[in-house]
Structure 1
Amino acid sequence: MVSRKRVFDLLRTINIASCQCPAHGHRGNFHVTNTAISKDYAFEIKSTTVRYGLGVTKELGQDLVNLGTKNVCVMTDANLVSLKPMKAVLDSLTRNGVNYKVYDRVKVEPTDSSFKDAIAFAKEGQFDGFVAVGGGSVMDTCKAANLYSCDPRAEFLDYVNQPVGKGKPVTVPLNPLIAIPTTSGTGSETTGLSIFDFEEIRAKTGISHGSLRPTLALIDPLHTLSVPRNVAIFSGFDVFCHALESFTAIPYTERGPAPENPKLRPVYQGSNPISDVWARFCLQTLRKYFSRSVHNPDDIEARSSMHLAATMAGVGIGNAGVHLCHGLAYPIAGNVKDYIPDDYGTDPIIPHGLAVSITAPAVFRFTGNSDPDKHLEAAQLLGEDIAAKKRSDAGNVLAEVILKYMDLLGIENGLDALGYTADDIPALVKGALPQHRLLQLTPVPQSEEDLSKLLENSLTIY
């Protein structure tokens, strides 16, 4: 039997599609009372302007001149400040007579404290333009510095997502921000998200508003040739989870409530036909180029393709959103003990791409029944033959494909290898619970017990 909800959806569709002129105004003009009317009925796609090409960084100075900027803040981190990407940036600024100051104290996996340091620098400099050169940490820090320098009276928690902060909408105009990603993972160059570790609760949270989107993203694959092996692996798995989570997120028509004003529609809206296009593109790219880009760092085709996939995944998640892998990842990264991966310095850190992927097999086993066809399609796009697979096994099928990629690229054997034990699970669950916008986009409702079980199932994964 057709469900009551499907009947209501069909009647509403007929009503919307029917001619509303006086001669035919009665046709299909059904008036249906349904509690589901509070759910959203529309989605929208917004994105940063993207310019892609080998060597495109040389155009940066001209872009800033075209934007009318007079005093520019260039943000990067201590690792990048002396490398080729920054040299290309500063050469372009100098050649075009752009006045600038460099802030190179961005913290990899930033915290509220590191955000506040960057914000203070931006306020003191009274900049009218920003350039972010680096990975997601740099771009997210630069977004926050731009926001709070444009609203100097704001308290830090005013714009931070609820329930940690007040989640106020951004109403002040922001200065132009040009993002130049040097890793292939976060997609932050196209999103209105700025993520950080909130030290008080030892979990990630962030700021989410369309105004934070960079004005322009310069996607220059030349910058990826110097990315170290583990950075390439973990960044690639961030793309991996972005694509899978946005593809399987709750449909936009199931997210609610509908906004009273379209400007209040959230950045994360749920899966939709356009974000699905980007997710499919990314999964196909990962199948062809992920391993190549890691094992052959000079393979410009592979590294260029992964760089573009990261940006396209950013467009997808910047409108559809991500869900449970990211919701669980934030406390996993925030509660790091003594894990120090190669290529990430000497301080304990669980890189974001590692944190999101470590629970992915368990998560997609859990969500498989929500939409078996999409889970099987995702597995197929990643290279699995699904001809003989049952819909009832969709979650397991996708989980096994994910594990093949993780094994091939040397991902650690679960949370246990990252320093966690079963005794840590309650604290990790506590850190995940405030991630409302992510947990609510998960296509299956979850209890605290469910979250505990997912983490328990991720202690070892092979």
Structure 2
Amino acid sequence: MPGAIRISPTRATRAVNLLRTVQFTHPPSCPCHSNPGHHHNAPSSSIRSLATPTDSSQQKEYAFEMAASSIRFGPGVTKEVGMDFKNMGAKRVMVVTDGTVKKLNAMKQAVQALEREGVQYSVFDGVRVEPKDSSIKQAIEFAKPYAPDAFLAVGGGSVIDTAKLMNLYTTCPDAEFLDFVNAPLGRGKPITAKLKPLIAVPTTAGTGSETTGTAIFDLVEKRAKTGIAHRNLKPTLGIVDPLNTRTMPSAVHASSGLDVLCHSLESWTAIPFNERTPRPTNPINRPAYQGANPISDIFSLKALRDTVKYLPRAVKDPEDHEAQSQMLLAATLAGVGFGNAGVHLCHGMSYPISGQNPGYKHAGYEVDSPIIPHGVSVAVTAPAVFKFTAASNPERHLAAAECFGVDISQVKKESAGEVLSEALAKFLEGLGDQPRGLKDLGFKREHIDGLVEGTIPQARVLMLAPNLEMSNVDAEREQLRRLFEESLDY
């Protein structure tokens, strides 16, 4: 061909060999595999191993997925929900709420929106705050005869999580309850069915459940919190309306905000996605909680900064609507972050704390039975947890401490855990009326063994905890025992 550049066979061979040398001696530079913010970068062997027929259970992950619900944020957007259901062609909507929220303006606005558009609905208002497996099953049995073609959840995380499971088990009516429950407490089967549309309208600024594929409850027989986690559980749409959190009592602002705090801190400090094992043999088995990754990092760190800035204001002044609005947005941001990266020790340890409550009833909650709010149960171990995890990645823990206003310019890496722990304790004390350790919740040293045994089965989140010796259960027990002991008082 005229003008073409001719390359001799010898030169062509040399060029190919050079490209091969570059490919196999330099790590890939795309952000999915190179994350300098973590203590481990993806090794070049992670690419080579894709073509190597080895035991997948021993291979590290090489990819992450980003999944979140669509979100609509703005004051007054609740009134649009009727149009949303009409637009999607829904004929029979199951509205899910609890006994307190059903009296609030958020529920009034949602029901009026359905009625304006002529959308048929039925209301289930029996959601239990901090749900148990029995209350979840009761809700499912209520929904089955109605045969809804869509769901609307109006309430906090307990309501949204209950609605997710009503949706799951009405779609899969022949499934046994433990089929989808996280292993090892349940069978941990992936959800292959396409669920019905679910719109979530949060009325608390905490769980971020409107963005995630996770639903949490107490499994009473095992005396532990667990749940179901899969991307197919995610709500179709989250209606995030700041007007709906103005009725939250100060105690609820505080405890739900502590959940946001730990969501962001745990997802920011979770092991990197490319350090998690096993690598899934099929994408459907890739867990929702994948480990920290470059996209979740953005959401988690922003949520942490905003929580530190706005939560004290929201707790202190019930008329500070800017702070309330920003905390609701922070909860959603943290939901996107941890919904893809995951949480670890604070949450893993919180489940037996809630499930083995010795009789504590948190002030500000209108319930008849003892209750340790979820945010309280996660935050109470946070000072001890982040002192423990800091050695895995001092830079990340120092970056977190900086969010609390700490000058880290002269702090040595080996002091990162102590510095973040002190910053956390000071922040928690500044909120006022918060338990300063497990002792304030009624736990004593003799309860620790039970708390440890209730934490061990939480493999779904513990696998993302830096420094935890999960390969040696005796060593893991000892580490958890020390963390609970240090959390008795801070």
> Is the TM value for this pair above 0.5?
yes
Alignment counterpart, residue 123 of structure 1, candidates 141, 144, 156: 144
TM-score, normalising length: structure 2: 0.88
Aligned amino acid, residue 306 of structure 1? M
Alignment counterpart, residue 268 of structure 2, candidates 234, 247, 259: 247
Change (3 A) 1:153 1:372: same
Show CA shifts across 1:13-39 (max 9, x none). 35999xxxxxxxxxx9x9678999710
Query: Match for residue 206 of structure 1?
Result: 227
1:346 Cα shift?
A: 2.8
Show CA shifts across 1:207-256 (max 9, x none). 01100000000000001111001100000000000000000000000001
Alignment counterpart, residue 290 of structure 2, candidates 259, 263, 269: 269
Deviates more, 1:298-307 or 1:338-347: 338-347
Aligned amino acid, residue 13 of structure 1? P
- Separation (CA, whole Å) in 2 of partners of 1:10 and 1:109: 51
Contact 2:273 2:290 in 1 (8 A): yes
1:10 Cα shift?
A: 7.9
- Separation (CA, whole Å) in 1 of partners of 2:30 and 2:487: 46
Corresponding position: 1:65 with 2:86? yes
- Separation (CA, whole Å) in 1 of partners of 2:24 and 2:380: 40
- Separation (CA, whole Å) in 1 of partners of 2:23 and 2:457: 32
Corresponding position: 1:393 with 2:411? no
Contact 1:286 1:382 in 2 (8 A): no
Alignment counterpart, residue 442 of structure 1, candidates 447, 452, 465: 465
- Separation (CA, whole Å) in 2 of partners of 1:149 and 1:354: 32
1:317 Cα shift?
A: 0.7
- Separation (CA, whole Å) in 1 of partners of 2:243 and 2:309: 20
1:283 Cα shift?
A: 1.4
- Separation (CA, whole Å) in 1 of partners of 2:297 and 2:64: 13
Show CA shifts across 1:370-396 (max 9, x none). 000000001102221111211100011
Query: Match for residue 25 of structure 1?
Result: none
Query: Match for residue 339 of structure 2?
Result: 318
TM-score, normalising length: structure 1: 0.93
- Separation (CA, whole Å) in 1 of partners of 2:439 and 2:104: 35
Structure 1 stretches of 5 or more lacking a match?
Answer: 1-7, 18-27
- Separation (CA, whole Å) in 2 of partners of 1:98 and 1:383: 50
Aligned amino acid, residue 468 of structure 2? P
Aligned amino acid, residue 479 of structure 2? D
Alignment counterpart, residue 352 of structure 1, candidates 367, 371, 374: 374
- Separation (CA, whole Å) in 2 of partners of 1:255 and 1:354: 28
The SS at the match of 1:379 is helix
Query: Match for residue 448 of structure 2?
Result: 425
Aligned amino acid, residue 428 of structure 1? L
Root-mean-square deviation over aligned CA pairs: 1.9
Alignment counterpart, residue 165 of structure 2, candidates 144, 150, 158: 144
Query: Match for residue 112 of structure 2?
Result: 91
- Separation (CA, whole Å) in 1 of partners of 2:23 and 2:375: 38
- Separation (CA, whole Å) in 2 of partners of 1:74 and 1:405: 38
Show CA shifts across 1:157-212 (max 9, x none). 01111011111111112100000000000011110001000000111010011000
Structure 2 stretches of 5 or more lacking a match?
Answer: 1-21, 32-44, 470-475
Query: Match for residue 362 of structure 2?
Result: 341
Contact 1:287 1:383 in 2 (8 A): no
- Separation (CA, whole Å) in 2 of partners of 1:193 and 1:14: 32
Alignment counterpart, residue 41 of structure 1, candidates 62, 68, 93: 62
Aligned residues between the structures: 443
1:262 Cα shift?
A: 2.0
Query: Match for residue 383 of structure 2?
Result: 361
Query: Match for residue 6 of structure 2?
Result: none
Change (3 A) 1:329 1:11: farther
Query: Match for residue 415 of structure 1?
Result: 438
1:315 Cα shift?
A: 0.4
- Separation (CA, whole Å) in 2 of partners of 1:221 and 1:148: 31
Show CA shifts across 1:100-138 (max 9, x none). 011000000000000000000111110000001111100
